[in-house]
Structure 1
Amino acid sequence: MKSAAPGVSIIIPAFNEESVIRQCIYAALCQSVAPSEIIVVDNKSTDGTADLVRNMQDEYPDVPLILLRQDAEQGLIPTRNFGFNHASGEILGRIDADSMLEPDWVEHVQRAFADPEVMACTGPVLYYDMPMRRFGLQADDRMRRFVLKLAKKQYHFLFGSNMAIRRGAWDIISQDVCRDEEDQLHEDIDISVHLAEHALRIQYVPEMISGMSARRLEDSPKDYRYYVTRFERTYSAHKIHRRVLRVPMLIFMTVYYPAKLLRRVHQARTQLRVPRGGL
């Protein structure tokens, strides 16, 4: 007898995300295979984030859309942990508030975890507010495959905008993951390292696609560099010194200026576009 597919909880940490949270939740709702629950964990938002989630709960009363509040601490890591610890699914999906899942995301996550050896998985991202989106998706996918090949499949990093972890694996590492009170590290890579320390397998799933915003490009060069160099600080904090693992950092640094220019041109063209039917 074929066993039932594992239930997938989708956890969305949120802080002042009223501009994107509705589209994020809607994409999570419109899945070919329904998630067990969609959990938004509001972390001391001062805007309308929580109100928008409540409105969607009223709009979709039959959907397991849950709003939690994490007010004890400010920060992504305690908010993520709070969501993971309160989820009921066997699989804990983790996305950002600006993520927009492809309609078959849950389906591909379930397929990946049908292999009992898979303890976590991640996939490529599509930057939905950039031009040539599908080209960007292919480039992102190739970069991840390239890094995995260079690392001889011994390492793979999860991506917080598009990842899932088995409940049992989270239970093993949950007390070990770094708290990062000084906000120096990449929390998703930290999870990856702790999984590797326990020989828990991470699977790259190219069909597991999530859209995300390229709004990080709006950061100043100084802030963007600080964000990207979290790769270096995270690996150094764990005393990992393999140069190949710095490749994503170098790629992100290299594409900053051309990608920023491309985004500005795209935004300008979008604003100047005249609706059909004329003025």
Structure 2
Amino acid sequence: MPSVSIVIPAYNEEAVIRQCILAALYQSVPALEIIVVDNRSTDRTAELVGLMQEEYPEAPLVLLSHDAEQGLIPTRNYGLDHATGDVLGRIDADSVLEPDWVEQVQRGFADPTVMAATGPVLYYDMPLRRFGLRADDRIRRFVLKLARKQYHFLFGSNMALRRDAWEAIRAEVCRDEADEMHEDLDLSVHLADHALKILYLPGMISGMSARRLEDSPKDYRYYVTRFDRTYRNHKIHRRVLRVPMLIFMGVYYPAKVLRKVHQVRTGQLIRRGGI
């Protein structure tokens, strides 16, 4: 089976980085390495990773610092460039992998034609989490069907790509200095340009926070319309590829209300972070 590295870009993620690393450590099949790339954090992110290295001295936990540039894309690239696995997993610092995530990735990439993969997400700080997982899975399958199997929607919180695929597109991925696009969607497009097979794996499940709902309507809209800006940048004009954007726009207000109710009932204190 192919070896799997897990890369975690992080900026000011002291509230969530420990739970993310613990989930990556406690896997049914261990990852080759778990690489946290700290990008100029001003909080205790790097310190907490260092403490976990002391707590788990046998764990393949690696802490890298990327200080040359601020931003998710250069931090992501730095981590992928330093990973040594056959398959390079990429998650966010608020991701909480299911215990069989590495195993599911290995199974998917046992097919040598698979060059990248993504799966559904479970929003762990929302009510009705398993119902939400089923809904997320169905939406992704629906979009895949509409796109006629040309899947252009890797999800940065839950994705993996073969090392050979990363090396093929590494010099081409957009830098997006203006911060207008979805970086994971940009990866997807470049993979598709090379006719590299992207697989949807329903068993490749990652938990993630719904903290994006804390954004103002204006900021959330800007985030969602990154779909349009990414496709326009690549001169892709297929209307069907707007469906995820429309879905995200449609669920904002009802999901925000559900999240607030859940926070009140559970007494959650959500701290924001992220690159």
TM-score relative to the length of structure 2 = 0.97
Mapped partners of 1:84, 1:269: distance in 2? 40
User: Relative contact order: is structure 1 or structure 2 higher (C-alpha 8 Å, sep ≥ 6)?
Assistant: 2
- Corresponding residue number in structure 1 for 2:273: none
Asked whether 1:127 is paired with 2:123, we answer yes
Which residue does 1:45 correspond to in 2? 41
* Aligned mate of 2:151, from 150, 155, 160: 155
Partner Cα distance (2:59, 2:78) in 1: 21
Q: Deviations over 1:82-119 (max 9, x none)?
A: 00000110100000000000000000000000000000
Partner of 1:108: 104
Matches of 2:76 and 2:112, distance apart in 1: 24
Matched residue type, 2:56: Y
Cα distance, 1:271 vs. partner? 1.7
Q: Give the C-alpha shift of residue 155 in structure 1.
A: 2.7
Answering whether residue 256 of structure 2 is matched by residue 260 of structure 1, we say yes
Aligned length: 268
Deviation at 1:11, TM superposition (A): 0.1
Q: d(CA) in 2 for partners of 1:155 and 1:107? A: 22
What does residue 207 of structure 1 align with? 203
Within a 5 Å distance, the mapping from 1:1-279 to structure 2 comes to 5-271=1-267
Aligned partner letter, 1:30: Y
Using the alignment, how far apart are the partners of 2:126 and 2:221 within structure 1?
20
**Which of the pair has more CA radius of gyration?**
1
Give the structure 2 partner of residue 276 of structure 1: none
Ranges of 4+ aligned residues in structure 1 off by more than 4 Å: none
| Aligned partner letter, 1:228 | V
Shift of 1:154: 1.8
Equivalent-residue separation in structure 1 for 2:206 and 2:4 (angstroms): 15
Distance 1:271 1:59 in 2: 29
The gaps in structure 1 that reach 5 residues or longer are: 273-279
Q: Secondary structure at the match of 2:195?
A: coil
Distance (Å, rounded) in 1 between the aligned partners of 2:92 and 2:81: 17
Displacement after TM superposition at 1:172 (Å): 0.3
* CA-based RMSD: 0.7
What fraction of aligned residue pairs are identical, expressed as a percent?
77
**Is the partner of 1:6 in helix, strand or coil?**
coil
1:57 corresponds to which letter in structure 2? Answer: Q
Q: Which amino acid aligns with 2:183?
A: E
Is there any run of 5+ residues in structure 2 with no aligned partner, and where?
269-275
Normalising by structure 1, report the TM-score.
0.95
Measured in 2, the distance between the counterparts of 1:87 and 1:172 equals 15
Question: Partners in 2 of 1:155 and 1:26 — Cα distance?
Answer: 31
